[in-house]
Structure 1
């Protein structure tokens, strides 16, 4: 009997010992790997060239140094570990202290009794760029190596991805020069808790891109307002001389206003460093089609001119292409802002933009449908001279009035819908990155 109890408790103790050796690293907390920086994943590190790099950007002397983990090709990673050590000591204790710039993605570890000396991931969310601030110790004299481990998947990881920081040199406090390494990126990732002065280039870049994207959002709404007001004027005022004159003035005003706003947006995108070529190209094409529309609207083509119908179609097509490129520019602007945060774009704003695009397609269908309906109403109204003299039957007058009311009501609904969507997108662009300091 004693032998059976002894055997049972032996198995229980062995089982508990095995359980105590099972670790989960999704949270990134593995202080037992501080020295070797090897994730205990039961696999060997990759020997190929890592698709990731460590870069840094220096400011003034004694200012924190912004260290970034990223991929030159934009390849994302699941986990990481970063520490600073004396270059002359291959496996020495970690140096200095790290400060988090995004507490939602990374966390500080205590290694060798020094709190905040190592940084690791906080969850297994896919990342494209991580940045932290590092403060050197007071007695730092030799060169420092920033060493990182990147985990692409559970079994695929790279170790000893290094960037060497030269020894500090006496620089006057008024100097603004930087000393980037060979792999230094000129744009550190989005800071969430550091003041903008730590990385003024990134702060300015994000603000310019957000302001330009919001301006393009305004351009899209102005284009919708221009087309729907034209629809309302021509429908409500029965396509008379006054309505045509008012419509032409309204179209000219909104086309010029769109050109001014999108030109200012293009200037903001061009001031960003580095310049996003695709974003600048999209806005430039939108401006070209806006100019084409302005030229056609200003042509002296009367209602009985043989080119009137063709010019109307060209204006609608130009406006449609203009709105398409404007929407694409908004998409690219949102993605560009998110790229500097280092995480994937918030699914909420993507869903809003998809719904926005669907609404835009419905709007374009409505523009051509309402144009056809307005021409049909005009033909029914004019009719032949004999019918005009006898007067229109009361039933037809009611149907014509109802059709006008439907066209005007739907136009107003589209204006309100685009206004709501535009405000929502602008708020999300400015609000989803408030931690960057420029919202």
Structure 2
């Protein structure tokens, strides 16, 4: 049983945070497009960012800020323009954005972190951003999480938010998070955008280590389409406002906090995979029996990312051969005679030997998952064992539908 409970409040559930989201005119749709998260005090800051060689200006900006200073108070996010591949002017726009929000908040510009999402190659509409900042700051609220979550999305169908609470040192500690992402998601820093707040006190090095591991077990274990964004950013703040003793070394308290951080990240990551462009169901792949966790996750990610597996699930075809083929090309050695594959409760392969199973019932399982009617709502469970090792890992993805092509064929038109 988990050592935490789910609470309301999202990104502003932890003590000492406010958030806001407004319509500034950045999106052609007229929907909310500018978000702000603010800590009442300087917070320890950590980040994980895209590994792409083509990076948005906000990514370079945040990396520079976090290398020089492990603290921040504010995160400003614009939606509509990615400000990636925009040259020197894109960098100057990022700098101006940081300075403008810092001035409005009366804080140092070094305490501001940035994120952007939208069409690659398009600069931020700076006139709209400048005009929107006073309204954004005025909208800050301790109940502003939903507004911020709405203002960071683009092709998402739903907002993504979570907050959990545990007890450390006989005092409640909370972690909240919001995220966006629906396409251009692949397990190579695949957050798109994720923001996490925490009211515990944690040392900078430990907080960064926790976030990196949590990202590996969540955002770096999801895939929608095999593409990695230029803007992927996962930023986490810890402001110490729970008034618990500072966590400075590995131990029971750090492990409890990291487990809750991982749970928050996994919830948001699965929400992104579930909301994949054109998706009708979430796919969860669990691999056991590998040599180590890294190997198990690699196999799981390969299966979840296979276009053939994803297409078969969309077609409600229980074609386990595609699962076996994906596992075999994952780059992880295992003996074929040890391979076991299950789809839901249907055992299809045991000790490398195919088994007879009810294909009609297995297809019905996939159909029911597509409408959220099966045991675990809209989740298709694929379970694979590759041996007797202790390594186990999970990955998440979604099916590949006709709508994915339509959405992306029309993205800029």
| Greater helix fraction, Structure 1 or Structure 2 | 1
TM-score, normalisation: structure 1? 0.24
| Greater strand fraction, Structure 1 or Structure 2 | 2
Instruction: Select the structure of larger CA radius of gyration.
Output: 1
TM-score, normalisation: structure 2? 0.25
